[in-house]
Structure 1
Amino acid sequence: MELEATSSQRSTWQYNEPSPGTERFVTEAFHGYRQQARLLIPDKERAPPLFVVGGARSDFTRLNPLLYRLQASGIGSLTANLSGHSLASEPGAVEPSLATNREEALRFHRHIAPHCQTIVGHSLGASIALKLAAQQPAVDKLILICPAVYPDDAHGAPFGPAFKAAISKPYGFLDCDSFEFLRTFPGRVLLVLGEFDGLNSKVYGQGEGTSAGTLWLAGAQRYSPIPEEVTRALLKSVPPPHLECLLLSNCDHGIAAHLRATPAVADQVAQTVVEFVLGDG
């Protein structure tokens, strides 16, 4: 892995803020474009680096409130910018899709694959993380943060109207082999969920098996794009001895923003992740 000390894309980052330790960058050339990943290196490593797949409209800085705390605690991470999601990933692939993102993520993951035991998926990135983990027998821990799961046939649909149509079919997400993968996954899974995400869509005037969307609840506007049935299917798919759940109160799907706004909660989430990564079972 050829590491670069600086990034020429820093001005395009969503959060241009110093890391608590060493950061290095990896650039990969794809067909007609390049993408970059950031490696956060702890001063004293306590575990191999995590591989992190970010969510929609994210670059590799979106989860800084968590990843910086992990770095300070001795756990590094490699996070890539993926086509179609941020200024830092432009121009990127033509008509990017989940399949495009998965191939980009796989290319970056190979740099740490021999040592990587944990994959993290955030929102849309969880759907990619699950597909990656199914190809990586060395991975024995999954951390899914406000996870989305999409139908297998949505992975080839270009982002935009075609992708939205592919993921909007009621209960369509059940046509995904990631649930079967989780049923046979021998490792451990940590689900990090917001209290106001994964709400029952029917209760809030939407059709069953779909998103509750944006609504006013408990004194604030809440965003709940994940169908309740997705969360239930994930919980049912992971054998109970292998599953841990962390529910964040007063938090909707915007967990990254919530961690940034509430440092004490970010401390608690980071500590839970550290214990999960370092634990044996």
Structure 2
Amino acid sequence: MSPAVTLRVPFEGRELHADTLTGASPLHLFGIHGGGASNRSVWNGLRQSLWQRGVGSTALDCVGHGSTGGVFAESSLQRRSQQARSVIEHVGVRPTALAGISMGAYNALRLSEELDVQALILIVPGIYTPEAHEVPFGPDFSTIIRRPRSWIDSDAWDILGRFRGRLLVIAGEQDSVIPLEIPERLHAAAGRASQRELLVVPGAGHKGLLPQLLDNPQWHASLLACVGLQS
């Protein structure tokens, strides 16, 4: 990884661990990882590629993840977005692109409206009903999201319907967590986007998708183009 500045960002009596890379370009990516055992290192490959092209980036470990630590069940979708917002304000660099993986894709999508970004990258995107937004992670949250097609009334569709930047939605063909209908609907909803692409990676599942994208020149180019780099 290129020389990153490590950050300790105060948040509700704890410290969020994050890091930022400065680039010569006005472009700047902010990445939000998924749930489970994920952390900000999932973005290392993409961030290195961008930094080599002069583009800076920032990423954090949400509460319950990585070096931030803490209890995952004490967080929520809403609080994850608040954590990302706190890091963005601390860094003082307004991102031009937001990227999210799995659960982080929903955080990125919701933040895209208030931050007025130029680009949005949603990788194996988890999409949620508004009913789940403020519910702490735990049994009640799981009960809500495990209802069949609980995501159908998500605010994601309307948010993307208003989005006017560049959109890249990436799905795994064999993803057993996120049905292909979700990324397809997200892509279709973004009728006002300046450009939009749906990339379905053949044979791919839910995890480990980003390294495959970076190893494929065409898919790698799609990521860079969405951020704002032209080959």
Fold in common (TM above 0.5): yes
The amino acid that maps onto 2:54 is G
Residues 31-110 of structure 1 correspond to what in structure 2 (within 5 A)?
31-42=12-23, 45-56=24-35, 57-84=37-64, 86-91=65-70, 95-110=74-89
Calculate percent identity across the aligned residue pairs: 28
Q: CA deviation at 1:189?
A: 0.6
Aligned to 1:130: 109
Q: 1:207-239 deviations in whole A, cap 9, x for unaligned?
A: xxxxxxxxxxxxxxxxx2012332232122111
Question: Whole-Å Cα distance in 2 between the matches of residues 231 and 93 of structure 1?
Answer: 26
3-state DSSP of counterpart to 2:178: coil
Question: Whole-Å Cα distance in 2 between the matches of residues 276 and 47 of structure 1?
Answer: 15
- Quick check: 1:233 aligned with 2:185? yes
Aligned to 1:176: 154
Tell me the TM-score normalised to structure 1 length: 0.73
Aligned residues: 228
Larger relative helix fraction = 2
Q: CA deviation at 1:62?
A: 1.8
Structure 1: gaps spanning 5 or more residues: 1-18, 198-223
Q: Using a 3 Å threshold, how does the CA distance of structure 1 residues 54 and 259 change in structure 2: closer, same or farther? A: closer
Q: Give the conservation status (yes or no) of the 8 Å contact 1:192–1:245.
A: yes
Question: Whole-Å Cα distance in 1 between the matches of residues 222 and 123 of structure 2?
Answer: 13
Aligned to 1:243: 196
Of the two, which has the highest radius of gyration? 1
Q: Give the conservation status (yes or no) of the 8 Å contact 1:141–1:187.
A: yes
Question: Whole-Å Cα distance in 2 between the matches of residues 143 and 270 of structure 1?
Answer: 12
Q: Using a 3 Å threshold, how does the CA distance of structure 1 residues 69 and 238 change in structure 2: closer, same or farther? A: same
3-state DSSP of counterpart to 2:57: strand
Aligned to 2:123: 145
Aligned to 1:264: 215
- Quick check: 1:24 aligned with 2:5? yes
Tell me the TM-score normalised to structure 2 length: 0.88
Question: Whole-Å Cα distance in 1 between the matches of residues 72 and 209 of structure 2?
Answer: 31
Q: Give the conservation status (yes or no) of the 8 Å contact 1:179–1:234.
A: yes
